[in-house]
Chain A
Amino acid sequence: MDSFLLGLIAGSFVSIGAYSVLIGDNPLSKFTENLYMGILGGFIFATNWNYVRTSAINPVLQGNYVFIVAILLCVMLFSRLKAEWLWLSRYPVAVTVGAGLGLAIRTSVMADFLGQINATILPLTSIDNLVMIIGTVTAAAYFIFTAQTEGPYKYVNQTGRIFLLAAFGVTYGQTVSFRFELVIGRLVDMLRPEVAIYTYVMLLLVALGLGYGYYTKKIKWYSGR
């Protein structure tokens, strides 16, 4: 059996374990959760350590001492592991947040404000443009909480609410579709002809195991609707 097929079978087993949480918390779902967190944590640590080694430690060893500051800031982050030294970790966090905010705000005005406002100033030459303008203005006006919803503003408010509900509906539909795609992505691998038999056997074993656990009250039955 090659390693690729072994990986698919292991993936199928872990997916069944993860999805078994749908019928309630159980030892298998907990095992797969912890397995995932452990593997991901280890992988992220190893990749980041490799980055620090090649981008900071190696340059320092080659005489580029400015990176000592970066390494020092990295080490200071770990000071939060001891309550008395926690204050030290605030400095690297402040540097990170400050740099991130500064860089984001630098172009946010153009990218997220002016660009979007420009896109709304459209000629009234088509239904699309009209819907865009009315939708944007009324949806924004809906969030004026300091005005009483009476008089002409009442109709603006109600129109804005309709546009917002339509937008939420689209987002809901897209989210449902995304969740389907996540499941389908796994099913495609789990139901490959060379893996399907292992998937069915494991489904049966998991069903029997969980059934026994619930029947003997060793696993608490899910009490939701």
Chain B
Amino acid sequence: MSLMDKMLALDQRIIFALMFIALAFPILNPIILPMDIQQYSRDSFEFADSIPAGSVVLIEGGLTAATYPQGGPGLEVQIVHMLRKDVKLVFFSIGTETAAWTVTAINNALEKLPSGVAAENGVNWVHMGYVPGGESGVAAFANDIRSVKTEDHFGTPIDQIPLMSEINKASDFVAVFWWGGSEGSIPFGIRQIVTPFGVPMTGMCTTNEVPNYTPYINSGQMIGIIGGVRGSAEYEYLMGMPGLALGQAMATNFGGLLWAFLVVLGNVLYFIARREEAAK
């Protein structure tokens, strides 16, 4: 068996091992490569930055254990961004697990807040928790919050929450930040909040879903999108708060370089093998 045949029949476990090394190395030895800020991320940041103090924003927290490392750092920084601007935040989640991870994001963001910034539960932010029913649940929540939620995530009755006293439907918010992760729920927000109520929205999704949702940006139905760990890293960078996402984005670069090399090598070897086969 020639070297080329051996390469073409390479055991995939060797590729897994190489990939593991390529991804782990930058985590153990942080290296920062040059990075451009994508326009979609910049648009998301600038839109959030333009929201006036005292406004109320709706945030859908859709991150899970798998997707939190990608979106979580960005969500945490955006919460810090909004609270520092005295923007009020109303969170909700359409998944059971995601509701719990939204609490993690809030707690981590509160730890990052500079002293003196108001961040009282029920006054500056409230987590309405899990809203079941998928898109139907979002529609019901957007039309009449009290019809689907009688209390917040922590059990406080909705009528005892000062922030919710004048909030009951989607049109009471100036914007929606949809941190959908990989739940594929951004169209729910477009269809049930943006289209019927005209509330502007930015989104966040995992990297693989970015191509699915960019048409909504081109059509003006969504203002920007934060894509995966790179989007989070860019939000961190624009906020001047480099953190976990930036380091992970660098590790993704190394993995991507190795992957691209293997794809090119595989194709070159394949074409050489095919030519040799034809010559015989």
- A contacts, CB < 8 Å to B: 22-23, 40, 43-44, 47-48, 51, 54-55, 58-59, 96, 99-100, 103-104, 106-108, 110-112, 115-116, 118-119, 132, 167, 170-171, 174-178, 180-189, 191, 222, 224-225
Contacts and interface: CB of A to CB of B under 8 A. Distances in A.
A13 B244 CA distance: 22
Q: Which 3 A-B pairs have the closest CB atoms?
A: A185-B69, A119-B219, A47-B96
A100 B135 contact: yes
A189 B149 CA distance: 35
Interface string B7-50: 00111110010011001100110000000000000000000000
B2 interface: no
Nearest to A115: B219
Contacts of A184: 23, 27, 69, 229, 248, 251-252, 255
A103 B139 contact: yes
B70 interface: yes
Given A22-B16, A47-B130, A116-B215, A181 B228 contact: yes
B191 to A, nearest CB: 4
A103 B259 contact: no
Contacts of A176: 256, 259
Contact of B220 (A55, A112, A119): A119
Contacts of A175: 207-208
A140 B68 CA distance: 36
Contacts, number: 147
Given A111-B194, A181-B229, A183-B23, A171 B208 contact: yes
Given A180-B252, A180-B259, A187-B27, 16 more contacts: A22-B16, A43-B100, A47-B99, A47-B130, A48-B132, A55-B148, A104-B191, A116-B215, A119-B220, A171-B211, A174-B209, A181-B69, A184-B229, A184-B248, A185-B66, A224-B12
- B interface, size bucket: 35 or more
B97 interface: yes
A172 to B, nearest CB: 9
5 contacts: A43-B97, A55-B150, A103-B139, A132-B218, A184-B27
Contacts of A185: 66-70, 229, 248
A54 B154 CA distance: 12
A186 B244 CA distance: 12
Given A112-B187, A187-B24, A225-B11, A119 B97 contact: no
Contacts of A188: 27, 69, 244, 247-248
Interface in B229-257: 229, 244, 247-248, 251-252, 255-256
B206 interface: yes
B68 A170 contact: no
A104 B149 CA distance: 21
A23 B139 CA distance: 45
Which of A106, A174, A185, A188 has the most chain B CB atoms inside 10 A of its CB? A185
Contacts of B13: 22-23, 222
